[in-house]
Amino acid sequence: MAEETGRNFIHEIIDADLESGRISQVITRFPPEPNGYLHIGHAKSINLNFSTAIKYGGKCFLRFDDTNPAKEDDEYIQSIKKDVQWLGFEWEEIRFASDYFEFMYEMAVRLIKKGLAYVCDLTAEEIRDYRGTLTEPGKNSPYRERRIEENLQLFEEMRAGKYADGEKVLRAKIDMASPNLNMRDPIIYRILRATHHRTGDDWLIYPMYDYAHPLGDAMEKITHSICTLEFEDHRPLYDWVVDNTDQDPKPHQYEFARLNLTQTIMSKRYLKKLVDEKVVDGWDDPRMPTISGLRRKGYTPEAIKDFCQRIGVAKANSEVDVKLLEHCVREDLNNRALRRMTVLEPLLLEIVNYPEGKTETLVSDNHPMLPEAGTREMTFSKYIYIEQADFMENPPGKFFRLAPGKEVRLMNAYIVKYEDVVKDQDGNIVKVLVSCDFESKSGGATAGRKVKGTLHWVDKATAVPAVVRQYDYLLKPAEEGERQDFMDRLNENSLMVYENALVEPAVKAAKPGEQFQMVRQGYYACDYKEFTPEKPVLNLIVGLRDSYAKAMQQE
């Protein structure tokens, strides 16, 4: 299996290509269109392209596929570069498809001269009608037999701006009866007056993706052009362009299954809609499946790459459980995140037999499995906050937290026993009175006494007010049957903010972006945009419970 050996079918192909002598070095590329931020699906492609190059001592280019000026933006270019670097990959060089516009134009002229491309005056709608269907062949365009000289002149005039947008196109002359619709004289150039983010207003005609991509691959001498399965039936056109423009060496296209994740939207177009309609707070909102969203949430590059390794690379589409992604980050952080305590909804405890004004310093491990991670100091005194949910006046059975008649351990400190509850006029609980068993101090000689519940807490005297953001999935599970618009599946409770949370003082020293395990709560990251030592802002990365690992064990 892929997860044991890291091998996949692309590696098999490469081994054969090296052996047969088709190639001597592996060259790949990751070719995003700069029309949005990268998402976790792109991470799969990045990981595949870059790791393959690394494995074979080859090269990987980062190529911006910027042939559609209407949607592209420099903001996207910057974010894509940052994401690839953050994942830990180094590109050979950055290239832009627009670097090759002149070359692509020349190749189009070559096709015209060979009688393999023609200028067509049909409207977009007519072209569609003439194209036929899966069961019916298409019809030849009345412009298909234009003479080569006329085509050359018209194409030059298209470039020079003689015609309006959409008035003419350049089409490859292949076969209007081909069973593959992509081969029915596809459009390879269109007229478009739009300012390009790099070439400005130099060009009035732009190449189409299916024509530009193989030529970009040829320019970089890509040996294995890896794309997703929906391009499988574009491959004959890819090869047609490579062959008929006489590229040497010839790049080859290979397809793999795109990543689909449960409860996750994975299309830039839809993600952009969430940003534009302000459903989320930007592309890097921690609820977004974008790489920048995952980073802001607190994911590590290691967890994302581990996930990409585990899902492997297959030729059949499937849906991966988003819980596997969560499992990967939980496992990574369990091994290295320092332990801290936070109380989200504080309830005051007064320790009646603890001297007023006294404060002890307790020393606790930063990580139970990593002695080298050292220790941190916490204070303990008469007034302590616990979680409201950890106290019940009339608890059901098996409530192993604080309640009348019960004792609990305050983690790394003392065992305390319920004494009384203090309420305001309206009957709301103001504080709970407890007494402390001074013999029970954690780590002390007589600490061995066991109680059923252990609670996290913070000391009122030193606790730091914090904002803690809990996240849930952006989408509710899809309903069976009918296809639902994802906007109707939005989870209105995907963000919950604890404005009055408290954290232990050690959190003040955190670096923005640093991750912690908040004991009994989950893994949290210090929001790298908003965190300050005076007012820590924490984002939930993932809860502690691993339903994925459990499900795997039961299988």
Q: Which residues belong to the active site?
A: 33, 258, 268
Exposure string of 177-199, with b = 16+ CB inside 10 Å and e = fewer, is ebeeebbbbbbbbbbbeeebbbb
Bridge partners of 224, per DSSP, are 252
Q: Which does 489 bind (CB under 5 to 8 A by kind): ligand ATP, Mg ion, none?
A: none
Q: What angle do CA 271, 276, 277 make, to 5 degrees?
A: 100
Residues 20-49 that bind ligand ATP (CB under 6 A): 31-33, 41-42, 44-45
* Among the residue ranges 32-40, 346-354, 371-379, 396-404, the one whose residues contact Mg ion (CB under 5 A): 32-40
Is 71 a binding residue for Mg ion by CB under 5 A? The answer is no
Min separation Cβ 484 and ligand ATP, Å: 19
Nearer CB in complex with Mg ion: 36/522? 36
Q: Which of 227, 436, 537, 540 binds ligand ATP (CB under 6 A)?
A: 227
Nearer to ligand ATP, 250 or 258 (CB): 258
Give the strands of the sheet with 407-410, arranged side by side: 453-455, 407-410, 415-423, 429-437, 346-351, 383-387, 458-459
| Neighbouring C-beta atoms of residue 470, cutoff 10 Å | 19
94 binds ligand ATP (CB under 6 A): no
**Which range touches Mg ion (CB under 5 A), out of 28-36, 135-143, 272-280, 353-361?**
28-36
Q: How many residues bind Mg ion (CB under 5 A)?
A: 1
| Closest separation in Å from C-beta 230 to ligand ATP | 8
Rank residues 67 and 470 by Cβ distance to Mg ion and give the closer one. Answer: 67
Q: Please state, in angstroms and rounded to a whole number, the distance separating the CA atoms of residues 452 and 4.
A: 40
Q: Least separation, in Å, of the C-beta of 76 and Mg ion?
A: 12
Positive or negative, the CA dihedral 500, 326, 259, 220 is positive
435: left (phi over 0), alpha (psi -120 to 50) or beta: beta
Q: For residues 249-278, which are near ligand ATP according to CB under 6 A?
A: 258-259, 266-269
Least separation in angstroms between residue 234's CB and ligand ATP is 12
Task: Count CB-CB contacts under 10 A for residue 233.
Answer: 14
Would strands 495-503 and 342-343 be described as parallel, antiparallel, or unpaired? antiparallel
Partner interacting with residue 44 (select from ligand ATP, Mg ion, none; CB below 5-8 Å by kind): ligand ATP
Is there binding between residue 33 and Mg ion (CB under 5 A)? Answer: yes
d(CA 433, CA 421): 6
- 550 contacts which partner out of ligand ATP, Mg ion, none, CB within 5 to 8 A by kind? none
Cα maximum dimension of the chain: 102
Q: How far is the CB of 35 from ligand ATP (least distance, A)?
A: 7
Secondary structure in 3-state letters for 263-280: CCCCCHHHHHHHHHCCCC
Residue 227 vs 333, nearer CB to ligand ATP: 227
Nearer to ligand ATP, 163 or 256 (CB): 256
Looking at the Cβ atoms of 32 and 138, the one nearer to ligand ATP is 32
Contacts of 197 (CB under 8 A, 6+ apart): 34, 66, 69, 72, 73, 74, 77
Answer yes or no whether residue 239 interacts with Mg ion by CB under 5 A: no
Torsion angles phi and psi, residue 238, rounded to 5: -55, -50
Which residue number, 65 or 407, has a Cβ lying nearer to ligand ATP?
Answer: 65
* 337 interface partner picked from Mg ion, ligand ATP, none, CB below 5 to 8 A per type: none
Contact 101, 197 (CB under 8 A): no
Stretch in the footprint of Mg ion (CB under 5 A) among 26-34, 255-263, 471-479, 522-530: 26-34
x/- track of binding to Mg ion for residues 386-425 (CB under 5 A): ----------------------------------------
Q: How far is the CB of 34 from Mg ion (least distance, A)?
A: 10
- When CB distances are held under 5 to 8 angstroms depending on the partner's kind, the choice from ligand ATP, Mg ion, none that residue 267 binds is ligand ATP
Nearer to Mg ion, 42 or 184 (CB): 42
Runs of H (alpha helix) within 21-147: 40-55, 74-86, 101-113, 124-130
For residue 70, is it left (φ>0), alpha (ψ between -120 and 50) or beta? alpha
Tell me which stretch binds Mg ion (CB under 5 A): 27-35, 192-200, 510-518, 524-532.
27-35
Residues of span 145-174 touching Mg ion by CB under 5 A: none
| Strand pairing class (259-261; 346-351) | unpaired
Strand-strand pairing, 537-543 and 27-30: unpaired
The stretch among 30-38, 97-105, 222-230, 457-465 that binds Mg ion (CB under 5 A) is 30-38
Query: Is 228 one of the binding residues for ligand ATP (CB under 6 A)?
Result: yes
Distance separating alpha carbons of residues 69 and 199, to the nearest angstrom: 9
Distance of CA 247 to the CA centre of its chain: 36
Asked if 293 interacts with ligand ATP (CB under 6 A), we say no
CB-based burial label for 331 (10 Å; 0-12, 13-18, 19+)? middle
- Residue 266 near Mg ion by CB under 5 A: no
Q: Which does 58 bind (CB under 5 to 8 A by kind): ligand ATP, Mg ion, none?
A: none
User: Which amino acid is present at 555?
Assistant: E
Residue 291 corresponds to which tokens in the numbers above?
A: 């790489």
Q: Which residues bind Mg ion (CB under 5 A)?
A: 33
Q: Which residues bind ligand ATP (CB under 6 A)?
A: 31-33, 41-42, 44-45, 227-228, 258-259, 266-269
